[in-house]
């Protein structure tokens, strides 16, 4: 269960708290760092739904592409992806992949994370709720707790910006 202190048996333990309008079919992915792992976070700008979080020790372009292809099997390919200027998004292989799928890459201006506000806010929430609250023993623990948290985030957590609806309620109401 998320947020329960003292999970034992070698499992992750809870740690005390130590510019564009949204539109359908736009994704905002981001790569975030967490200790010895990296996360590739993908949300839908329209309803702030977490489409997926890939967790690994490194996040090269080919892994990002493979993960986006997996997400596309469920959600289809987006018309546009808004990203920062990280090497995984500026590589030739990523640019060619986007062209092959008719995806426009919307690069934010370097040093202007506010242009990517949805994912930056999401990254903070994810870090506060998951990454900074647990002491993880391995990547599988991070993945399991993250999967549980995504369910909670998409299905039970209302957002002020979505008229106090959850991401899935907002999508279904559209």
Write down the residue that tokens 């959850």 correspond to: 166
Q: Is residue 107 classed as helix, strand or coil in its secondary structure?
A: strand
State residue 93's pLDDT score.
98
Residue from 95, 99, 103 nearest 26 by CA = 103
Indicate whether 14 pLDDT > 60: no
Beta bridge partners of 31: 40
Q: How far apart are CA 71 and CA 77, in angstroms?
A: 8
Nearest Cα to Cα of residue 125 among 20, 46, 21, 53: 53
Pairwise CA distance, residues 97 & 69, whole Å:
10
Q: What is the pLDDT of residue 26?
A: 56
> Which residue segments constitute the domains of the chain, with CATH numbers given?
19-118 (3.30.420.10)
Distance from CA of residue 106 to its chain's centroid? 17
**What are 55-97's pLDDT values in tens digits?**
999 999 999 999 999 999 999 999 999 999 999 999 999 999 9
Decide the pairing of beta strands 13-14 and 37-44: unpaired
Q: Which of 58, 15, 32 is nearest to 125 (CA)?
A: 32
For 99-154, the pLDDT digits (tens) are 999 999 999 999 888 888 999 999 999 999 999 898 888 899 999 999 999 999 99
Task: Please state the pTM of the whole predicted model.
Answer: 0.80
Q: What is the chain's mean pLDDT, rounded? A: 85
- Residue 27: predicted pLDDT: 56
The answer, yes or no, to whether residue 35 has pLDDT greater than 80, is no
């Amino acid at each position: 269960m998320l947020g329960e202190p003292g999970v034992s048996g070698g499992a992750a333990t809870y740690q005390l708290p130590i510019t564009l309008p949204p539109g359908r079919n736009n994704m905002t992915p981001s790569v975030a760092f967490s200790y010895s792992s990296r996360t590739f976070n993908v949300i839908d700008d329209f309803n702030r739904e977490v489409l997926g979080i890939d967790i690994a020790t490194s996040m090269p372009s080919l892994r990002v592409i493979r993960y986006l292809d997996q997400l596309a099997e469920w959600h289809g390919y987006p018309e546009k992806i808004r990203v920062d200027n990280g090497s995984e998004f500026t590589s030739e292989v990523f640019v060619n992949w986007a062209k092959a799928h008719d995806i426009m890459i919307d690069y934010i201006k370097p040093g202007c994370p506010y242009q990517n506000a949805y994912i930056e806010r999401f990254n903070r929430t994810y870090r506060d709720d998951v990454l900074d609250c647990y002491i993880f023993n391995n990547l599988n623990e991070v993945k399991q707790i993250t999967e549980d948290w995504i369910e909670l985030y998409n299905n039970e957590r209302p957002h002020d910006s979505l008229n106090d609806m959850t991401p899935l309620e907002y999508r279904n109401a559209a």
